[in-house]
A and B are shown apart, each in its own frame.
Chain A
Amino acid sequence: MSELEDSPSLSNVAFDDLVVGARLGPFREHVGAGDAGRLRGAIGEPDAVSVAPPAVYPVLFLKALRRAMGGIPSGSVLAKQELEFHGELPVDRDVEITTWVSDRYVRRDRPYVVIDFDVRAADGGASVVTGRKIIIWPTGPGERQ
C-alpha cells in the first residue's frame, strides 16, 4: 500500500544538500487498474487495461521522488526524461521503486539534478523499467528557500 499520502506534497530540499549516490527506498506502490486506465488514453479519462501503459512509469517516478525528497521540489522543472522498458507489468500489482541522485551540476547558471529510478515487481521480482529525470532544481549552489 502506498504511503504517498503520508509524504508532504512539497519540499524545499536545497541543491547543496543533495547527496550523490545515496540510494533511497525501495518505495512500494500499487499499480491499480483504475489509475493505470486513466493513463492509457487522454489523461484522466477511464479506460480498460490489463497491463500498465507507458505513462504509468513517469507517474511512479514522481511518486518515488516525492517520497524520497519529502515532497516534490517546489518550482522544479523537468528538462529531460529517459525510460528503458524491461518487461510488462500486469495491473493490480505492487512495485518497488529505488531512486538516487546520480549527478548534479550547473550549466549556463542553472542547477541541474539527475535522478535515477529502478522499478521492479514487488518482493524481489524482475526489473520492469529503469529511467532517469533531469530536473532544473529550484535552488542553485549557495541558495536556500
Chain B
Amino acid sequence: MPELDFPAIGDTVTQDTIDAYAELSGDFNPLHVDLEAALASEFGGIIAHGPIALQAFFRSATTWLDVEAMPRGSEVQVTYRHPVRPGDRIVCRVRDLRTEDGRIHLDAECVNQDDVPVLSVRASFAADA
C-alpha cells in the first residue's frame, strides 16, 4: 500500500448533500438546514455536517485498503478545522505514513478547493489489513 496509491476521492458538497445527510442522521441543526439562522450565526451561512467532509477520508481509505468496512482494530481520530460550505469540493491526502508495531499509522488531511485544510485525520490499521 504505497502512499502514492492513496486515492484522492472527493466530492462537491451541495445543499442537496447536506439535506440528504440531515435526513439520514436526523440532525436538522439550523446551522446546516436553516439559511436564515445560519446567516445570523458566527459562520455567516450554511455549513455542512462535519462527517460529510470525513466521507472523503473514508472513501479514500476503504478504496486504498480494498475493503467495504474498516478492518477490526482500526482507529480513526478526526479534528475538524474549518467549516465546509455548499459548493466546496473536498479531497483527502496523506501527510505521513509509517508502520510501527505491526500497525500502519497514517496522518491525512482533507482540503477544500482552495487547499484549506477542513479536517485532519490520524488513523491506524493492522498492517495485514
Seen from chain A, the residues whose Cβ lies within 8 Å of a Cβ on chain B are 4, 7, 9-10, 35, 38-44, 49-55, 58-59, 62-63, 66, 72-89
Contact = CB atoms under 8 A, between A and B. Distances in A.
A66 B1 CA distance: 39
A9 B26 CA distance: 7
Contacts of B96: none
Contacts of B11: 42-43
B27 A84 contact: no
Interface size range of chain B in the complex? 35 or more
B29 A52 contact: no
B54 to A, nearest CB: 7
Nearest to B19: A44
B41 A75 contact: yes
B26 A72 contact: yes
Contacts of A38: 20, 24
Contact of A75 (B30, B50, B61): B30
B69 A85 contact: yes
B69 A52 contact: yes
Contacts of A55: 51, 54-55, 58
A35 B20 CA distance: 10
A81 B78 contact: yes
Contact of A85 (B24, B55, B74): B74
Contact of B72 (A39, A50, A76, A88): A88
Interface string B22-56: 00111111110000000001000000011110110
A51 B76 contact: no
Contact of B68 (A4, A51, A77, A80): A51
Which of B49, B51, B71, B74 has most chain A Cβ within 10 Å? B51
Contacts of B71: 85
Contact of A83 (B49, B68, B75): B75
Given A10-B28, A50-B68, A78-B51, 15 more contacts: A7-B26, A9-B26, A10-B30, A43-B17, A43-B55, A49-B68, A54-B62, A62-B25, A63-B25, A73-B29, A75-B41, A76-B29, A77-B31, A80-B78, A84-B76
Contacts of B68: 40, 49-51, 53, 88
Given A53-B62, A53-B69, A79-B79, A72 B29 contact: yes
Nearest to B59: A41
A81 B119 CA distance: 11
A58 B72 contact: no
B6 interface: no
Given A43-B52, A80-B80, A82-B77, A88 B69 contact: yes
